[in-house]
Structures are given as C-alpha cells and as structure tokens.
Amino acid sequence: MNGRLTLAASLSFLLVASAAGAAQPWLSDRRYGEGIGIKAGRFELHPGISTEFGYDSNFFLRAPNENPADAWRLRVTPSLSLNTETPRRAGSEPSGQAPMFNLQANTYFAYSEVFGSDEVKDQRNYDVGVGGRLDIAPQRQLGADVYADFVRNGEPSNAAGTGQTFNRGTLRGGAGVTWRPGGGLFDWRVGYEAAYGYFEDQPYTTYNNVQHNILTRGRWKILPRSGFLYDAKYTFVRYQKANSPQPNGDQLQARLGFGGLMTNHVGFLLMGGWNSTYYEASTGTTTGVATAAQNYDGYVGQAELKFFLQSGPSEDNASTGLSSIAVGFTRDLSNSYLGAFYTRDRGYLSFDVFLAGVFVANLQGGFSRYSYPTVDALNPSFSQNHVDARLFAEYRFNDTLGLNGTLLYDKAIGEGPHPQGVQLDGTGTRYDNLEYDRVQAYVGLRLFW
C-alpha cells in the first residue's frame, strides 16, 4: 500500500510536469528545427547538433518540505530528419501528377550530464527518439498512411540514492485509410493505433501497459478556407502485470467542430464532444484497500482563436515561418497512474515570431486544473492547479548556426487529497506532498542544415 501510493503519486505528477516542460522545441516542431537542408534526389536531409548548459532549481520535483535539490545540466543532442521535398520547398509549381507518396522520418539522441550535490551527480541520463510516417497517394481519392515511433525518456525519481528511476519508453505504431471524394472538399480517415508504455526499473514495471485505439476523423469544406471537423476514438487500456494496482478500462470519445480562417489574419477552431470511460473496480490484491470503479461521463473540447501577424495562409494549416498569437482553452481526459484517470481544464496563450529567417521565438504559457477521482478508501477525489510557461528564442548568425536560450517554469499548487498530501497508510501520519515549484534556464548553440 505505502509503496504503491508513493510511486503512483510521484510518477503521475512527474509525467504532468514533463508534458509542461517538453524537450527542445526544434526536435518536435520543424518550423524551429530545419535549415536549408541537403538534397538527395527527391529527399531532403536535415542533420543537426546542439549543446546546452543550464540550471534546474528542483531537479527531483520535490515539495518545499521534502528537501528540494538544484542541479546544473550539460546536454548534447545530435539529430537527423528526412522528408520528401515539397514543390514549395523546391521553389517550383506543383506538377500535374500528384506524388505517389510522402515520407517523413526523424531521430535524435540527447545526453545529459548533471552537476550538483552527491544525490544529483549520479543522475546522468539520456533521451532517444526515432520515428517515421509514410503517406501513400496523399492527394488522390483513396490514400493510406503508416507510421511508427519510439521515445525513451530518462527521468530521476524523487527517491535519490535508491537506484530507482522513472526511465521509461513508449513504442507506438498505426495505419489508416483515407477517402477523399469531391476533389478534396471532403475527406474521411479510419485507422488503428497501438502503443506500449513501459518502465525500466522495479517497482515501476507494474505500470507497464498497452493501449489500443480505433480512430476516425473527417473534414468537410463548405467555405474556401474553413469547414466542419469530426473525430472519434475508442481506447482500450490494459496493464500487463496481473499484480498491477491500476485498473484496466476503456474510453469512448467523439467530437464535432468547425475551424479555418475568417480573414487573412484571423483563424479559429471550435471542437466539442463527449467522453465516457469504463474502468473496472480495483480488487485491492496488492494495495490492501479495494476501490470502487471510478468513471467519467462528460464533455471534452477545444476552442482557439489565432491572429497572424502577416497575411494568413491560404490553406487550413499555417505554413512554416508564420508569426502568430493564439489564445485557447481545452478540456480533455487522460489515463492516470494515480487513480484511474484525470481530467484537465487548461487555458493557454502562445506567441510565435519568425523574422526574416534570422530570429525565431516562442512564448507560451497556461493555467491548468487537474481533477482526479477517488484514489482509494484513504484518499478521496481532489484537484490540483498547475502553472506552466516556456520562452524559447534563437538568433541565427547564418543559415546553419544559431544561439538560443530557453526558460521554463512549472508550479503545482495544492498538496493533494489531504492538507499534507496523499495519505500513505491508515495511521494518518505518513503522506506524500504533491506540491512543487521549478525553474529551468538553458543557453545553447545549435548547428543545423
């Protein structure tokens, strides 16, 4: 019981924090990552390497009363992406014959060396990512897609010196078929996706799980630059070990919306729908405390308004290098390691700047409220607020060399289901405080093509 709650509470909020302070933006967004490229036939290669040095004020994500430890970090990240060259990138008009396939692939390796106290020094680690996507007949009436990726994250646990870490990986793959009648005014995709999430160290391997997703989405253009949108999914969550404290369950979600451009400078997105979950009751075989099934039956959605500082794109998605300001709100539901699931209500603001290929910057932040159902007989349902912010800016001396800086802030407000945190046993004397405050700052040099 004690170990299970300590692991679940710490792990759940570490994953929330990791999502808020994502890795280097040039690894996940091609607008920041790609340079002029190296042509190889119909393909473009984009190699790169970055070096960063920075400070972390709360390396283990500990509460103020749990002895937070700061650290200095040196991170080196070589990366490589490959994609088929588009007519726009090639500087030519589209040919009469649409391409039969488009390919995108990428990989990176990020090594981190850390400096600080004795408990920090042995926490050197690495992240790995590799993935690819193949779109077959992307502009024809009937097309298909296949994709796969793997991400490994190295994260310390807040119990330094135990040899236990939150090192984890996710392997994902999927495929789909898309129908586009009417010259692209309407399209509909049906697909399948599977993901395996695992932890490398005991005792966290009890949280290893497989998720299967049946997916569909559609779009119907009724105006030149806007139209109706629809998406739905059915998710199966299955934990791999019989003694896992987490319940298996299913999720069913469907959303309908409308989005596009109102003018050359203003875009919008409105999506709303419903999510219903079907989680099983916990038997209490490993925790000693059985918990009734906890489920959600309520709304989900997203609303966003975006203003383009230059004239907006002529298609549904903004093109590379377009400065914009966006404000929005999301409500969604995710599988959890503390209780069965959590819901998130988040308001956010994002500001992107691209100036003549010399200076790029992104400022984004949000305020979120995470709501958890009843954890077990000792811990009732509770909510916790989160504040997150990220500033990234890069000055490019030329087409291949840039100096950048990153500032991250993340704060969890609220101790947990009790004023002292998550109750770990029936004595009422042992708790795990879920509150923390963290600042990270990095400066780096990046060489890219």
Distance (Å, rounded) from C-alpha 77 to C-alpha 432? 34
Task: For 36, list phi and psi in degrees, rounded to 5.
Answer: -70, -25
Which sequence spans correspond to the domains of the chain? 2-448
Per-residue pLDDT, 9: 63
Per-residue pLDDT, 201: 86
Question: Buried b vs exposed e over 224-263: b needs ≥16 C-beta within 10 Å?
Answer: ebbbebbbbbebebebeeeebbbbebbbebebbbbbbbee
Per-residue pLDDT, 199: 92
Task: Return the residue matching tokens 């994002």.
Answer: 350
Per-residue pLDDT, 244: 78
Q: What is the mean pLDDT of each run of 10 residues along the chain (449 residues)?
A: 56 62 75 85 92 95 89 96 70 60 94 91 91 94 96 81 80 97 89 96 88 97 92 96 85 97 92 96 59 89 94 51 91 92 97 90 96 88 95 95 96 91 79 91 96
Alpha carbon of 239 to those of 174, 197, 208, 247: distances in Å?
20, 9, 6, 8
The CATH classification of domain 2-448, taken from the options 2.40.160, 3.30.70, 2.60.120, 3.90.70: 2.40.160
Per-residue pLDDT, 93: 46
Per-residue pLDDT, 427: 76
Secondary structure (H, E, C), the chain: CHHHHHHHHHHHHHHHHHHHCCCCHHHHCHHHHCCCCEEECCEEEEEEEEEEEEEECCCCCCCHHHCCCCEEEEEEEEEEEEEECCHHHHCCCCCCCCCCEEEEEEEEEEEEEEEECHHHHCCCEEEEEEEEEEEECCCCCEEEEEEEEEEEECCECCCCCCCCECCEEEEEEEEEEEECCHHHCEEEEEEEEEEEEEECCCCHHHHCEEEEEEEEEEEEEEECCEEEEEEEEEEEEEECCCCCCCCCEEEEEEEEEEEEECCCCEEEEEEEEEEEEEECCECCCCCCCCECCCCCEEEEEEEEEEEECCCCCCCCCCCCCCCEEEEEEEEEEEECCCCCEEEEEEEEEEEEEEECCCEEEEEEEEEEEEEECCCECCECCEEEEEEEEEEEEEEECCCCEEEEEEEEEEEEECCCCECCEEECCCCCCCEECCCEEEEEEEEEEEEEC
What does the block give as tokens for 43?
Answer: 């393909």
CA nearest neighbour of 340 among 250, 261, 274, 415: 250
Per-residue pLDDT, 28: 83
